[in-house]
Amino acid sequence: MEIRARDAAVPFETADGSTIRSLLDRSNAPVANHSLAEATIEAGTATTRHHHRIAEEIYYLVEGSGTMELDGERRSVSAGDAILIPPGAWHQITADAGTRIRLLCSCSPPYSHDDVHFA
């Protein structure tokens, strides 16, 4: 059985500008097909627009609100929303002023720095 406490996961900044806590992935568990991380985007800031050639992602917002951009379409998002990001889809999430976003990010196959591509 693999159990990882959120507070034991050391946060780090990713290439897209979000702060990540890797909860379960290939670096800390015998994960084969997906990964789970918690990401934080500070109030009024955004991730860098990017895509993943291989990974499919799901974002689940647990705190905050903002704007999600997916292949040029923009929608307001808030806590309780789940967002599907298909492989190859350009995306960016921006936190509203005055509120940070905290989200869970599930990737299949597991997240890899090599699969993050910028314009």
Where are the domains positioned within the chain? 12-118
Q: Encoding tokens for residue 71?
A: 């292949």
- Per-residue model confidence as pLDDT tens for the chain (119 residues): 999 999 999 999 888 889 999 999 998 999 999 999 999 999 999 999 999 999 999 999 999 999 999 999 999 999 999 999 999 999 999 999 999 999 999 999 999 889 999 97
Q: Residue 1: what pLDDT?
A: 94
β-sheet with 73-78: strand ranges across: 73-78, 65-70, 91-95, 50-51, 117-118
- 27's CB contacts (< 8 A; 6+ apart) are none
Q: Specify the CATH superfamily of domain 12-118.
A: Jelly Rolls (2.60.120.10)
Strand partners of residue 76: 67
Residue 29 neighbours by CB under 8 Å, 6+ apart: 2, 4
Q: Could you tell me the pTM of the whole model?
A: 0.93
